[in-house]
C-alpha cells in the first residue's frame, strides 16, 4: 500500500498537498521598521519599530514630519528612517544557515535636518559589498538580494561616502530564510559562444541581486500576491516586436510536481499566464522569434537568469517543442516540457542559466519553435523571467582580450584544482631542479610564471609551495565598487602618480584606511603578467621594509592593486627635483639601510629567494616617518633553483640601473638587484638621476661617472651640496666603498644584500659614533681637497673589530631570524 502511494504521489499532481501545507513561513524572519518606535502591519507582515532595537544601537531616528496622516501602512513604514553619519551596522541572529532574502527599502524624504535624497553611501552584508553609490537615491526603491548566510549572524553594514562627509539611511529591512533548495548549487547552465555548459561554481554560494522579475503575459504582482512577498511586473515594455507575441491564459491552478517548480519558486499567477507565438497573420512556415530585451545597468557583468515555463497552450503532451536563446546564444534547444514533467500539461517548470551581458547592457531572451514541431503546431512559450546580477562573481578572461566567461572555474572546485596544480608543479619544479643539478648544466630555468587564477592555463607555481586562497591569490579581493567609493570614482584630484602600469590614486577604504590604488588601464590586459606577479609576490610576504598589499581587484575589465599608503611617496622625489626640502644625510642613510633590509629579506626570506629586477629610487617609497619600503614587484622573479646560479630571462628593468652583466648575458641573479641598489646609493649621495641626458657625455650615466670619482678617491667632490657639511669622512668612505662594490662588473664580485646591509649599518655607526673621534668635516665650498693623510689611510672594511659593532650585529640578527 505504502509503496503504491509513493508511486502515485510521484505521478499525480500534488498541488493538493501544497494547498494543505499553507503559506511558507521562514525560520528566520526579521522585519524592521527603521528609525521608528511603532510596529506596522504591511501586507499581513509586522515590521517592528527599531527604536529600542537589539539589532542596532547606532544611527538616529529621522521622521518625515509632514506625513502625519499616511495614506497606507506602507507609506507609514516609509515615513521614518534610520540615518547613519558613520559606518554602522545591523546585526541579526541567524537560526538557519542557508540561502536568505535580504530586502532593503529606501524611500528618501526631507525632514527638518536631513534631506535623504542627498545621502551617498554603500552597504554590505557579512562583508560582501552589495551596493555602492555616488548618485543619490531619489525615488522609493527596494533592493533585494539573495545570499548564502553561512554563519549564525548576518551583519549589514552601512558606510557613508567619506569624501562628501555624507550619511547613509534605510527605511525598512527584511531578512528571511529562503525555502530549501531555492537556489540549487549545481542547477545552472552557463550559456555563451562556446555553447551550453554546466555552470561550474556552486550557485548557492553566489550573492544575487534582483534586477528584473517579470510575470510574462500576466499582470503586475505585489508582495501581497506572492508567496515570498516579491514583486513581479509585466513584460510588455521589454518586448521587441509586440505583434510577434500573443498572451496565453488559463484559469486552472497549475499542477505542481516534484522535481519541477513549487509555489515558492513562483506563485500560481506567474504560471497561469504566458506569451506565445502570434501566428494569427502568418502562414505555417513562418520564421520569427519572440524577443525581450531586459536592460541591465552594470555592463560586463554575469547574470543569473531563471526562466519559468508551464505549458498552458498545448492540447495534449508532446506537441510543443521550442528553442530558447539568451543574448543570441542557444540556451535550450528543442525544449519539450512534457518530457520534463512526466507528460503532464500545465505543470510548472523552471530552468536556471548564467549569461554574460557583455557590453550590450541587456540580457536578451528569445524563444522560437523548434524544427521538431509539426508545422501545424509550431509554438513557443515563456511564463516568467527573473534576472539577477551575480554581485561579486568575476568572469574568467584567460588567454586573451576575448572574454571567455564561459570557462568559469568554480571557486570551490577551482581552488582545489589550483592547489593540485600548484602541488604538481611544485613537484615538477623540484624534479627539474634536481635533474639540472645532476646534469649541472645551466640553461633555461623554470622561471616563475605568475600563478593564474583560472586553472587551465596555469604553468606557474609559488616557489615556496604556499597555497593560494579561494581566488588563487593570497591577497584580499576588493570589490570594484568599493574601490570606486574609496577613490571617489577615480577622482583626478586624488591622483598621486602614474607609470607604465597605469594611474595611482590615493584612496580611503571603508574602514578609514589610507591606501594607494594602482589601476591598470581598464580593458588593457597589457600589464596582466606584472599584475599577477605583484599579487602573488606581495601576498606571501610581509616585511617592515616592503610595501604591503592590502588587496586587489580583478573585476570586469579592471586590474587594480591596493597598497598601504606611503605618505611621502618615492625616494627620488626627496632627492632632487623642484621644490624639495633636502633630506639630511642621516635620514638618507637610514633610508638606504631600510631599503637594503627589505631587499635582503626579499633575496633570502624564502626557499628560492625573490629577485626584484627593478630597483630604483622611484620604487623605494617613504612613509610618513620616512621609513623606506621597497615597492613594485611587477617584474620580480624567483631566484634560481639550488645549485644553479642564475635565471635566464628577457632583459627587464630600468635604464641607468641595469646590471651590465645581466644585459650582456641575459642571466638574472640577485646580484643584478645589488648592482641597481649601488646606483641608488650614488643617487642618494649625489642627488642626481641615474641617467641625465642633459649633462655632458661622461656625466650622463651616474654609475659610470660616480665610479670614476670613487676610484679616484674624490667622491666628496660630487656629494649633494645640501649634505656635504653633514657627512663624516669615514662614513662617506665606507658608503662609497659599498656602492663601488655593488657596481662591480661581474656579479660574483658584488657583495650580497646582506653584506651591503651590514656595510651600510657600519657606515651609519661611523657617522654616529663619537668614539671614532671627530673627523674634520668637509666644508661647504666646492671642491675641497681632503687632508692628505686621510686620503691615504686605508680602511680595513672587513675587519670591523676596531669599533663596537654589537649593535650592528644584533640588528642584523633580529632581521635574519625571520
SS3 of 725-756: the string is HHCCHHHHHHHHHHHHHHCCCCHHHCCCHHHH
Using rule CB under 6 A, residue 73 touches ligand NAG: yes
Q: Pick one of 138, 371, 456, 804: the residue that binds ligand NAG (CB under 6 A).
A: 371
614 counts as catalytic: yes
Write down the least CB distance from residue 243 to ligand NAG, Å: 4
413 or 642: CB nearest ligand NAG: 413
Which range touches ligand NAG (CB under 6 A), out of 18-26, 278-286, 471-479, 557-565? 278-286
User: Which of 11, 224, 431, 795 contacts ligand NAG by CB under 6 A?
Assistant: 224
CA neighbours within 13 Å on the CB side: how many for 315? 3
Residue 250 makes contact with ligand NAG by CB under 6 A = no
Peptide bond between residue 783 and the one before it cis (omega within 30 degrees of 0): yes
Do residues 661 and 745 make contact, with C-beta atoms less than 8 angstroms apart? yes
> 162-201: which residues touch ligand NAG (CB under 6 A)?
185-186
Distance CA 678, CA 684 (A): 10
**Distance (Å, whole) CA 434 – CA 427:** 10
In the three-class reduction of DSSP (H, G, I as helix; E, B as strand; rest coil), residue 582 is classed as coil
Please report, as residue ranges, which positions from 533 to 592 form the binding site for ligand NAG (by CB under 6 A).
none
**Of positions 134, 293, 714, 811, contacts ligand NAG by CB under 6 A:** 134
* In the complex, minimum distance from the CB of residue 372 to ligand NAG, in angstroms, rounded to a whole number: 8
Q: Compute how many residues bind ligand NAG; rule: CB under 6 A.
A: 31
Separation between Cα atoms, residue 592 and residue 761, nearest integer Å: 9
Contact region with ligand NAG (CB under 6 A), list: 281-289, 504-512, 561-569, 574-582:
281-289
Does 518 carry a binding-site annotation? yes
374 binds ligand NAG (CB under 6 A): no
Residue 39: CB minimum distance to ligand NAG, A: 7
In this structure, the number of other CB atoms found within 10 A of the CB of residue 638 comes to 23
- Shortest distance, position 482 Cβ to ligand NAG, whole Å: 13
Binding window for ligand NAG (CB under 6 A); candidates: 274-282, 389-397, 515-523, 742-750:
274-282
Cβ proximity to ligand NAG, 171 vs 759, nearer residue? 171
Residue 593 in contact with residue 731, Cβ under 8 Å?
A: no
Residue 222 binding ligand NAG, by CB under 6 A: yes
- Comparing CB distances to ligand NAG, the nearer of 282 and 642 is 282
Closest by CA position to 701, among listed 715, 682, 714: 682
**Would you count residue 219 as binding ligand NAG (CB under 6 A)?**
yes
CA pair distance 731, 449, nearest whole angstrom:
42
Strand-strand pairing, 128-132 and 647-648: unpaired
Q: How many CA atoms lie within 13 A of 161 on its CB side?
A: 19
Contacts of residue 10, Cβ cutoff 8 Å, sequence gap at least 6: 258, 342
Q: The C-alpha cell of 315 is what?
A: 492540447
Contact with ligand NAG (CB under 6 A) among 288, 342, 430, 709: 288
Please identify, using beta-carbon distances, which residue of 131 and 601 lies nearer to ligand NAG. Answer: 131
**The one among 112, 287, 402, 441 contacting ligand NAG by CB under 6 A:** 287
Residue 227 CB, shortest distance to ligand NAG, in Å, is: 11
Element (H, E) at 439: helix 411-439
**β-strand pairing of 45-49 with 29-33:** parallel
Write the CB contacts of 810 (distance below 8 Å, at least 6 apart in sequence): none
Write b or e for each residue in 27-66: b if 16 or more Cβ atoms lie within 10 A of its Cβ, otherwise e.
Answer: ebebbbbbbbeeebebeeeebbbbeebebbeebebbebee
Is position 280 an interface residue for ligand NAG (rule: CB under 6 A)? yes
Segment near ligand NAG (CB under 6 A); pick from 218-226, 313-321, 514-522, 592-600: 218-226
- Name which of 286 and 342 has its Cβ closer to ligand NAG: 286
Question: Out of 171, 269, 411, 654, which residue is the one contacting ligand NAG (CB under 6 A)?
Answer: 269
Q: How far apart are CA 556 and CA 298, in angstroms?
A: 10
Task: Tell which one of 19, 243, 431, 663 touches ligand NAG (CB under 6 A).
Answer: 243
- Can you spell out the DSSP letters for 491-519? -GGGEEEE-SSEEEEEEE-TT--EEEEEE
Cβ(647)–Cβ(626) under 8 Å?
A: no
In the structure grid, which three cell numbers stand for residue 803, read together?
669599533
Classify residue 341 by its DSSP letter.
T
Residues 324-353 that bind ligand NAG (CB under 6 A): 325, 328
If one asks whether residue 136 binds ligand NAG (CB under 6 A), the answer comes out as no
Q: Which of 226, 235, 336, 614 is catalytic?
A: 614
Element (H, E) at 586: helix 585-604
Query: Quick one: which segment of 257-265, 284-292, 348-356, 389-397 binds ligand NAG (CB under 6 A)?
Result: 284-292
The correct pick among 420, 489, 512, 810 for binding ligand NAG (CB under 6 A) is 489
If one asks whether residue 700 binds ligand NAG (CB under 6 A), the answer comes out as no
The residue among 181, 232, 369, 345 whose CA lies nearest residue 290 is: 369
When binding is defined by CB under 6 A, the residue of 79, 122, 190, 225 that contacts ligand NAG is 225
Q: Which of 157, 366, 730, 759 binds ligand NAG (CB under 6 A)?
A: 366
User: Which residue ranges make up the annotated binding site?
Assistant: 518
Contact positions vs ligand NAG (CB under 6 A): 40-42, 44, 73, 134, 185-186, 202, 204-205, 219, 221-222, 224-225, 243, 269, 278, 280-281, 287-289, 325, 328, 366, 368, 371, 488-489
Catalytic residues: 614
User: Which residue ranges make up the annotated binding site for ATP?
Assistant: 518
Amino acid at each position: 500500500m505504502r509503496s503504491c502511494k509513493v508511486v502515485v504521489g510521484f505521478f499525480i499532481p500534488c498541488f493538493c498537498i501544497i494547498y494543505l501545507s499553507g503559506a511558507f513561513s521562514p525560520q528566520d524572519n526579521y522585519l524592521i521598521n527603521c528609525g521608528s518606535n511603532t510596529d506596522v502591519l504591511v501586507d499581513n507582515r509586522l515590521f517592528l519599530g527599531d527604536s529600542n532595537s537589539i539589532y542596532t544601537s547606532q544611527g538616529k531616528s529621522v521622521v518625515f514630519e509632514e506625513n502625519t496622516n499616511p495614506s497606507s501602512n506602507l507609506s507609514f513604514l516609509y515615513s521614518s528612517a534610520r540615518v547613519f553619519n558613520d559606518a554602522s551596522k545591523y546585526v541579526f541572529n541567524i537560526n538557519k544557515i542557508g540561502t536568505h532574502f535580504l530586502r532593503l527599502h529606501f524611500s528618501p524624504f526631507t525632514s527638518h535636518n536631513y534631506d535623504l535624497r542627498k545621502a551617498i553611501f554603500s552597504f554590505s552584508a557579512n562583508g560582501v559589498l552589495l551596493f555602492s553609490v555616488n548618485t543619490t537615491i531619489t525615488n522609493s526603491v527596494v533592493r533585494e538580494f539573495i545570499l548564502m548566510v553561512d554563519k549564525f549572524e548576518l551583519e549589514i553594514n552601512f558606510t557613508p561616502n567619506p569624501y562628501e562627509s555624507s550619511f547613509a539611511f534605510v527605511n525598512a529591512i527584511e531578512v528571511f530564510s529562503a525555502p530549501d533548495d531555492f537556489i540549487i548549487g549545481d542547477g545552472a547552465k552557463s550559456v555563451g559562444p562556446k555553447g551550453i555548459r554546466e555552470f561550474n561554481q556552486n550557485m548557492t554560494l553566489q550573492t544575487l541581486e534582483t534586477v528584473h522579475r517579470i510575470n510574462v503575459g500576466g499582470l503586475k504582482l505585489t508582495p501581497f500576491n506572492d508567496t515570498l512577498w516579491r514583486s513581479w511586473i509585466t513584460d510588455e515594455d521589454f518586448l521587441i516586436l509586440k505583434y510577434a507575441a500573443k498572451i496565453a491564459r488559463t484559469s486552472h491552478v497549475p499542477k505542481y510536481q516534484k522535481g519541477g517548480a513549487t509555489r515558492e519558486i513562483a506563485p500560481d499567477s506567474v504560471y497561469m499566464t504566458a506569451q506565445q507565438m502570434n501566428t494569427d497573420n502568418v502562414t505555417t512556415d513562418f520564421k520569427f522569434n519572440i524577443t525581450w530585451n531586459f536592460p541591465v545597468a552594470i555592463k560586463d557583468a554575469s547574470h543569473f537568469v531563471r526562466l519559468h515555463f508551464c505549458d498552458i497552450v498545448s492540447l495534449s503532451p508532446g506537441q510543443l517543442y521550442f528553442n530558447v536563446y539568451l543574448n543570441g546564444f542557444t540556451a535550450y534547444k528543442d525544449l519539450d516540457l512534457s518530457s520534463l514533467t512526466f507528460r503532464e500539461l500545465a505543470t510548472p517548470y523552471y530552468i536556471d542559466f548564467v549569461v554574460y551581458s557583455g557590453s550590450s547592457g541587456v540580457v536578451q531572451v528569445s524563444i522560437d519553435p523548434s524544427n521538431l514541431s509539426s508545422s501545424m503546431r509550431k509554438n513557443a512559450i515563456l511564463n516568467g523571467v527573473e534576472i539577477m546580477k551575480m554581485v561579486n562573481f568575476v568572469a574568467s578572461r584567460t588567454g586573451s582580450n576575448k572574454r571567455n566567461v564561459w570557462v568559469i572555474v568554480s571557486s570551490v572546485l577551482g581552488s582545489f584544482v589550483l592547489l593540485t596544480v600548484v602541488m604538481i608543479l611544485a613537484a615538477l619544479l623540484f624534479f627539474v631542479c634536481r635533474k639540472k643539478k645532476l646534469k649541472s648544466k645551466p640553461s633555461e630555468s623554470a622561471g616563475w610564471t605568475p600563478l593564474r587564477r583560472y586553472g587551465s592555463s596555469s604553468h606557474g607555481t609559488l616557489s615556496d609551495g604556499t597555497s593560494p586562497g579561494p581566488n588563487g591569490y593570497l591577497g584580499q579581493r576588493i570589490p570594484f565598487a568599493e574601490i570606486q567609493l574609496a577613490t571617489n570614482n577615480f577622482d583626478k584630484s586624488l591622483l598621486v602618480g602614474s607609470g607604465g602600469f597605469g594611474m595611482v590614486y590615493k584612496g580611503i577604504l571603508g574602514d578609514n584606511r589610507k591606501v594607494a590604488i594602482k589601476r591598470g588601464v581598464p580593458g588593457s590586459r597589457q600589464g596582466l603578467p606584472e599584475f599577477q606577479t605583484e599579487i602573488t609576490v606581495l601576498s606571501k610576504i610581509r616585511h617592515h621594509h616592503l610595501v604591503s598589499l592590502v588587496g586587489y581587484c580583478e573585476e570586469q575589465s579592471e586590474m587594480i592593486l591596493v597598497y598601504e599608503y606611503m605618505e611621502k611617496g618615492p625616494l627620488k622625489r626627496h632627492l632632487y627635483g623642484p621644490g624639495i626640502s633636502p633630506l639630511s644625510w642621516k635620514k638618507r642613510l637610514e633610508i638606504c639601510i631600510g631599503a637594503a633590509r627589505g631587499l635582503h629579506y626579499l633575496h633570502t626570506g624564502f626557499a628560492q629567494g625573490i629577485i626584484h629586477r627593478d630597483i630604483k629610487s622611484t620604487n623605494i617609497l617613504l612613509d610618513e616617518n620616512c621609513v623606506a619600503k621597497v615597492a613594485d614587484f611587477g617584474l620580480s622573479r624567483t631566484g634560481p633553483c639550488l645549485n644553479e646560479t642564475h635565471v635566464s630571462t628577457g632583459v627587464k628593468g630600468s635604464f641607468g640601473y641595469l646590471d651590465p652583466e645581466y644585459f650582456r648575458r641575459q642571466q638574472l641573479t640577485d646580484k643584478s638587484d645589488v648592482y641597481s641598489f649601488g646606483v641608488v646609493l650614488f643617487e642618494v649621495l649625489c642627488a642626481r638621476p641615474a641617467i641625465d641626458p642633459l649633462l655632458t657625455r661622461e656625466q650622463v650615466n651616474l654609475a659610470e661617472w660616480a665610479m670614476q670619482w670613487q676610484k679616484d678617491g674624490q667622491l666628496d667632490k660630487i656629494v649633494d651640496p645640501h649634505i656635504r657639511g653633514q657627512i663624516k669622512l669615514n662614513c662617506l668612505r665606507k658608503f662609497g666603498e659599498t656602492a663601488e662594490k655593488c657596481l662591480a662588473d661581474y656579479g660574483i664580485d658584488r657583495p650580497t644584500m646582506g653584506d651591503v646591509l651590514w656595510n651600510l649599518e657600519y657606515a651609519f655607526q661611523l657617522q654616529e659614533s663619537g668614539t671614532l673621534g671627530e673627523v674634520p668635516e668637509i666644508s661647504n665650498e666646492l671642491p675641497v681637497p681632503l687632508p692628505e693623510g686621510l686620503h691615504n689611510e686605508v680602511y680595513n672594511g672587513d675587519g670591523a673589530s676596531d669599533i663596537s659593532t654589537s649593535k650592528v650585529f644584533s640588528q642584523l640578527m633580529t632581521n635574519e631570524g625571520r
